[in-house]
Amino acid sequence: MLDVHRLRLLRELDRRGTLAAVARALSYSPSAISQQLSQLESETGVRLLEHVGRGVRLTAQGRLLVTHADAVLERLELAEAELAASLTEVTGTLRVASFQSVLLALIPAALSQLAARHPRLRVEITQQDPEAAFAGLVAHDFDLVLGEEYPGLPQARMPGVDEADLTRDELRLAVPTRGPLALRRPELADLREVPWVLDPADSVPARWMVALCRDAGFEPDVRFETPDLLLHVHLVATGHAVAMLPDLLGVGDRADLRLVGLPGRPRRRLFTGVRRGAARHPRVRAFRDSLRHGLRAAAGRVTDVHGQDT
């Protein structure tokens, strides 16, 4: 009988690439992990690792075993979920990765509801961009992650991940209400010679926004590059840049900036992702329910604030 713990170590090595990375993630020493994997080789009777320079990599047999380890561990996670669902109280720890706009708009109300309904559930939240968050989900660094998908840029579906749609969040131009950039009802093409603030160039939001500007016939003059949407808001409000902001951020009622609808009313898709075996776990279901509660609270804040500009 193969040892499940050693199978997990082998899968972690496949995911993370080095013994040192596995050791850091699981709080073991590299030598202890190496010893456990050597014992797994003895159990299987085949070589699972081969030395490459100063490191190791999985053999073809090692990679084959990882595919079975994934199935075994998913089934065990499903068993844990069903056992937890048979209890009357939601307890334990849920590790969540999310990005800034969701953290600002939905998480406070979600946590308040969870504290009232499930006081013994501990939620740990890390701010993380979606691409890195999903890698962490597969590597078991997180239990639930928030994802986003922009129009025309579909996200590749990850095997073994259960997705649940949260909402469609409209994206709008943001311009200041005072100063030389304060255009009342600008078209996108009117902003070809003004400074922009965008997310980092290699991010999905930035790629989408640049493509939108190019479709309008110009290359945006990106003066500021940051993933911090609150800084985007500040730079627009103080008259130093224009931007594209999601409705979920909830800044449409500010007097120092104006949100203007884009043609076709583009929306990003927001969703949650969990490992498939954990999709029915009470902790996951409780958190997904709390996000929907947070979404209803956020919707109340943005209702009717865009009427004159859309």
Residue 224 pLDDT more than 90? yes
Structure tokens at 147: 């994802």
Residue 185 pLDDT more than 90? no
Residues 243-264 have pLDDT tens digits of 999 999 999 889 999 999 999 9
Residue 98 pLDDT more than 60? yes
Residue 266 pLDDT more than 90? yes
**Matching CATH topology for 4-84 and 90-310?**
no
Residue 4's pLDDT band (cuts 50, 70, 90): confident
Residue 306 pLDDT more than 60? no
Q: Which residue has the higher pLDDT, 164 or 307?
A: 164
Residues 273-286 have pLDDT tens digits of 999 999 999 999 99
CATH of 4-84, one of 1.10.10.10, 1.10.540.10, 3.30.479.30, 3.40.250.10: 1.10.10.10
Predicted local confidence at residue 301, as pLDDT: 58
Residues 108-136 have pLDDT tens digits of 999 999 999 999 999 999 999 888 898 88
Predicted local confidence at residue 244, as pLDDT: 96
Predicted local confidence at residue 302, as pLDDT: 54
The Cα–Cα gap between 7 and 1 comes to 11
3-state DSSP assignment of residue 48? coil
Residue 303 pLDDT more than 70? no
- Quick check: 157 and 242 in contact, CB under 8 A? no
Least confident span in 67-71, 191-195, 304-308? 304-308
Share of the chain above pLDDT 90, in %: 60
Least confident span in 89-103, 130-144, 235-249? 130-144
- Quick check: 112 and 287 in contact, CB under 8 A? no
Residue 21's pLDDT band (cuts 50, 70, 90): confident
Residue 14 pLDDT more than 80? yes
The residue ranges of every structural domain in the chain are 4-84, 90-310
Q: What is the CATH number of domain 90-310?
A: 3.40.190.290
The mean pLDDT value for 62-73 works out to: 88
224-239 burial code (b ≥16 CB/10 A, e <16): eeebebeebbebbbeb
Residue (of 286, 294, 289) closest to 88 by Cα position: 286
The Cα–Cα gap between 52 and 297 comes to 54
The Cα–Cα gap between 250 and 300 comes to 10
Residue 71's pLDDT band (cuts 50, 70, 90): confident
Predicted local confidence at residue 257, as pLDDT: 95
Predicted local confidence at residue 309, as pLDDT: 44
Structure tokens at 124: 């740990």
Residue 308 pLDDT more than 50? no
Residue 17 pLDDT more than 60? yes
SS (H, E, C) 84-138: HHCCCCCCEEEEEEECHHHHHHCHHHHHHHHHHHCCCEEEEEEECCHHHHHHHHH
The Cα–Cα gap between 306 and 173 comes to 12
